[in-house]
Amino acid sequence: MPPKTSTKAGKGGKGDSKAKWSKGKVRDKLNNMVLFDKATYEKLYKEVITYKLITPSVVSERLKVRASLAKQGLRELLAKGMIKCVVHHGGQLVYTRCTKADDTIVE
C-alpha cells in the first residue's frame, strides 16, 4: 500500500483563513446647522407652532438644526406664549401648540 500524502499541502492554505469581520452598520453623518439663518428662523415661527407634538428632537430633525439650537428656539416660543409646555421631566421637554381656547400657559 502506498503512503498517504498530506491533503493540506494541496489546498494552499485555504482552510486556515482568518474570519472576516463586517464593519457594522454605517450611519450617515448629519450636517445640522449651529446657528439659525433667516429662512430657518422664519420657519420656526411659522411651522413649528402648528405642530401638535413639539420636542427638541422633532424640531432638530425637521429644521436640520442642532438639538441645542432647537431647545433655544422652543424656549423663545414659550416665552412669547406661542407654545405651551406639557411635560418637563428631566431632560425631556414636550410642548404643544396653543389653541384659541387655551389662554393659560402651563409651566
The answer to whether position 95 is within a domain reads yes
Specify the pLDDT at position 20: 83
Q: Enter the C-alpha cell of residue 45.
A: 415661527
The Cα 1–Cα 7 span in angstroms is: 17
Q: Contact 83/45 with Cβ under 8 angstroms?
A: no
The answer to whether position 67 is within a domain reads yes
The answer to whether position 75 is within a domain reads yes
Specify the pLDDT at position 15: 63
> To the nearest 10°, the Cα dihedral for 66, 67, 73, 78?
170
The Cα 28–Cα 13 span in angstroms is: 38
- Distance from the Cα of residue 103 to its chain's centroid: 32
CA distances (Å), origin 76, targets 69, 73, 82, 83, 93: 11, 5, 9, 9, 14
pLDDT one digit per residue (tens) for the chain, 107 residues: 777 776 656 556 566 678 888 888 888 888 999 999 999 999 999 999 999 999 999 999 999 999 999 999 999 999 999 999 999 999 899 999 998 776 555 55
Specify the pLDDT at position 14: 61
Q: Contact 54/96 with Cβ under 8 angstroms?
A: yes
- Distance from the Cα of residue 95 to its chain's centroid: 18
pTM, whole model, 2 decimals?
A: 0.69
The domain that holds 95 is classified in CATH as 1.10.10.10
Specify the pLDDT at position 9: 60
The answer to whether position 24 is within a domain reads no
The answer to whether position 104 is within a domain reads yes
Domains: count for the chain: 1
The answer to whether position 58 is within a domain reads yes
Domain span at residue 88 reads 32-107
